Amino acid sequence: MTGTQYTDRDFQFGQNYRYVVRSVSLGTEGTQVESLNSNAMPASPRDVYPPAAPRGVTAAAAPAPLQRISIFFAANEEPDLAGYNIYRSTDENLPKDRWTKLNPTLLTRTTFVDENVESGKRYYYYVTAVDKAGNESLPSETASDTVP
C-alpha cells in the first residue's frame, strides 16, 4: 500500500480494534525494510446512523361494525433493521414528538391494525424504522383516514 490513508472496510460496529502503522523503505540492493510499529491507535466504531424513513404509508378505515384503521407501508431494506414504530394523532399539526406511539414493542411486519378508534373521527399516522443499535429514523410521510 502506498499513501498516508487507509480505510478499513471490513470493520464491525461494536467491536474494538487497534491499528498500527509501519513505514517501508528500500534498503541495500532494493530490499524492503520495515520500521517498528507506531503507537497503537484504539478504535471502537459505534453505529449512529438511523435507517431511512419508511415509505409508501397508507391508512384504510374499515366500515362498521369493525371500526378499525389498517396501516400499510413498504419494507425498509437496511440489513440491520430491527423493526418499526407506529405513531398516531387526531391533530396533524401536533408536533411529531407529541404523537402517541401505538406499539409497546417493535413491529416486524409492514402492516398494523388500530382497533382503538371511534366512528366519525379522522386519525393521522406516521411510521419510523429502528435499527439493531436503537437508531430511529425520521418520521415517514403522514397517512390518514376517517372511521365511517
Q: Give the pLDDT confidence score for residue 1 in this predicted structure.
A: 66
Q: Give the pLDDT confidence score for residue 28 in this predicted structure.
A: 82
Task: State CA 90 to chain mean position distance.
Answer: 26
7-21, 42-56, 104-118: least confident range: 7-21
Q: Give the pLDDT confidence score for residue 129 in this predicted structure.
A: 98
Alpha carbons 110 and 46: distance in angstroms, whole number: 27
Contacts of 21 (CB under 8 A, 6+ apart): 37, 38
| Of residues 28 and 112, more confidently modeled | 112
- What domains sit in the chain, N to C, each tagged with a CATH number? 12-46 (no CATH), 58-146 (2.60.40.10)
Grid cell, residue 88, equals 398516531
Record the pTM.
Answer: 0.81
Report the largest interatomic distance among the alpha carbons of the chain, rounded to a whole angstrom. 91
CA angle 48, 54, 58 (to 5 degrees): 160
Q: What would the pLDDT profile of 37-93 be if each residue is shown by its tens digit? A: 999 999 999 999 999 999 999 999 998 888 999 999 999 999 999 999 999 999 999
